[in-house]
Structure 1
Amino acid sequence: MAVVRGKRIEVLYSASTIAARNLELAKEIGERDYRDLLVISVLKGSFIFSADLVRAMHDAGLEPDVEFIMLSTYGAGTEAGEVKILRDIDSDVAGRDVLLVDDILESGKTLTFARDLIMQRSAKSVGLCVLLDKSMRRQAATPLQADFVGFECPDHFVVGYGMDVGHAFRELPFVGVVAGDA
């Protein structure tokens, strides 16, 4: 168990496990018939996952363009609220295959919003790739499923590998759960 910022962090997915899964995901993505692929990273939580995944995609022979969108549903708390665009993409998605990359799929609210937004802008297709899927948290009103999933995640609040609590722990090279004070 790691101790970071005075907290005990239980490791759920190690850096090496994540790296291996990223390469597998890149190969799975490469098996799709994507043309003129645009990867859109949903910030902030997915920035590390997206960077590693795009590099793995290169290793798998893919040549995606990369964009970033910043959406907010949490603010400073942990309960999902209204989805807001804080930073939009610059690229035109019309006629393109788009892959939205996010850190975690829980309620489905953020990715449903993002997918619908990109489809309204006339994308050819919109795929979804998430590092973690908390399928038990999906709301009945949004029965969203990701096309590519790194790991099924237990129902814990997770940190690390870009994900935070109060802007802390994003730097961790693994995904873990805060287990308490050290």
Structure 2
Amino acid sequence: MSLDILFSEAEIAARVEAMGYEIAEAVPQRLLAVPIMTGAFIFAADLLRALYRAGVEPEVDFLQVGSYGNGTTSSGTVQLLREIQADVTGRDVLLIDDILESGRTLTYARNVLIDRGARRVLIAVALEKPNKLAVEIAADYVGFQCPDRFVLGYGMDYAGKYRELPFIGALDQI
């Protein structure tokens, strides 16, 4: 297996800090941050601390959906694995995910939150793969544009491995 570093730990830290201030400029009301587990957990933790430094103190709840299983491509079917407990009615919600690729997961999650009465759903992603969308959706805040390669590290995995890497890398072969 060959691993190329796409985004270093320092590059990620600087960009996430900037994203915290960008989100603060949107002046969210009664903000609820909803990381999509499990790939977004490290990005979400860093972004939440950046939001705090930018003067935003959101409530946090978690949503877990999945479509990858142990593969390197999405099955195309999104499954709800864990519901949020917080009431989103009339609130701004910041949906946090690791990567915007097909858009199915974020579309599903956004629709769940809108259907439950969220005032506004903002989307923040660590990575975006342009030209890979299967549905029409856009992130409001993007860490980095990502090449069309299988990425891991910084919370993202391959079959449950490599989440602990402090950088984002790409696999040439599996």
**Same fold per superposition (TM over 0.5):** yes
Q: Give the aligned residue type for 1:155.
A: D
Q: Give the aligned residue type for 1:95.
A: G
Q: Matched residues in 2 for 1:158 and 1:57: separation?
A: 25
1:74 CA drift (Å): 1.1
Deviations 1:79-129 (A, max 9, x none): 322111111111011111001000000010000000000000000110110
1:180 CA drift (Å): 5.1
Q: Matched residues in 2 for 1:79 and 1:172: separation?
A: 21
* SS class of match (2:36): strand
1:34 matched to 2:34? The reply is: no
Q: Matched residues in 2 for 1:169 and 1:126: separation?
A: 30
Larger Rg: 1
1:75 CA drift (Å): 1.4
TM-score by length of 1: 0.92
RMSD of aligned C-alpha atoms?
Answer: 1.1
TM-score by length of 2: 0.96
Q: How does 1:15-164 map to 2 (within 5 A)?
A: 15-80=9-74, 81-139=76-134, 142-164=135-157
Q: Matched residues in 1 for 2:122 and 2:156: separation?
A: 21
Of residues 149, 153, 163 in structure 2, which corresponds to 1:170?
Answer: 163
User: Runs (4+) of structure 1 moved beyond 4 Å?
Assistant: none
Structure 1 regions of 5+ residues with no counterpart? 1-6
Structure 2 regions of 5+ residues with no counterpart? none
Q: Matched residues in 2 for 1:159 and 1:82: separation?
A: 21
Q: Give the aligned residue type for 1:59.
A: R
Deviations 1:20-62 (A, max 9, x none): 0011000000000211000000011000000000001111111
Q: Matched residues in 2 for 1:19 and 1:167: separation?
A: 23
